[in-house]
Amino acid sequence: MKTDDLIAALSADNATRGAPLSRAFAVALGLGMAASVVFFFATLGVRDTFFASLGQPRFLFKFVFSLTMAASGLFLAWRLSRPGAVAGPAAKTLLLAPALVALASLAEMATTPATLWPARMIGHNALHCLILIPLMALAPLLGLFAALRHGAPSDGRRAGAAAALAASGLSATLYAMNCPDDSPFFLAVWYMIAAALVVALGWLAGGRWLRW
């Protein structure tokens, strides 16, 4: 059987079981996130000022940023989950989170003395961010990989990277509840680096485990 014929056959098979694929994504992601949530509350928990910070735009923006990252990654992973699928215009959604944090950083620059920029970028403990976001992304990433294997994507690397972006966005949402740093500068540097580490892992692992 030629490659094009195989892709067509797999696509037809996936079309007949779209609902199971949807359930696979929902169940796998739900289980993965449940594991990360349990880990978060067992080891970190929300920061002491969490409820008092809910009225602060800079604090709330962290969740807008991380959830945008998660949504764009999940949307792209879903698009790439079927044989022969291509990202197409969906790939442009990956620009949303970086664009948001760039605009927020410009606003921070306009309202904050330049002497404070380095301290806000470095934050209180960047190492925690670089360790905990990738660590808490592992369970949802494994769940998404299980769902992607159910769908048989043609491009395992891109699908794996998209799943990793979704997982890192969800993990960053959890970490943001504990993180004492609310500056967009901190998000633009350390959250983005942490997400990039997970995406690199997803790219490499996708090429190995999502092949068919």
Give the closest residue to 74 by CA, choosing from 175, 148, 155.
148
SS3 state of residue 19: helix
* Sole residue written with tokens 């997982």: 167
Residue 92 structural domain? 3-209
Residue 85's pLDDT is what? 73
Residue 16's pLDDT is what? 45
Residue 41's pLDDT is what? 98
Three-class SS of 129-191: HHHHHHHHHHHHHHHHHHHHHHHCCCCHHHHHHHHHHHHHHHHHHHHHCCCCCCCHHHHHHHH
Residue 152's pLDDT is what? 80
Lookup: tokens for 170 = 């969800």
Residue 12's pLDDT is what? 47
Neighbours of 152 (CB within 10 A): 23
Are 144 and 77 contacting, i.e. CB atoms less than 8 angstroms apart? yes
Give the closest residue to 188 by CA, choosing from 103, 73, 112.
103
Residue 83's pLDDT is what? 82
Q: pTM for the whole thing?
A: 0.88
Residue 84's pLDDT is what? 77
**How many domains are contained in the chain?**
1
Are 181 and 163 contacting, i.e. CB atoms less than 8 angstroms apart? no
Are 69 and 195 contacting, i.e. CB atoms less than 8 angstroms apart? yes
Q: Which residues of the chain have pLDDT under 70?
A: 1-19, 212
Neighbours of 190 (CB within 10 A): 23
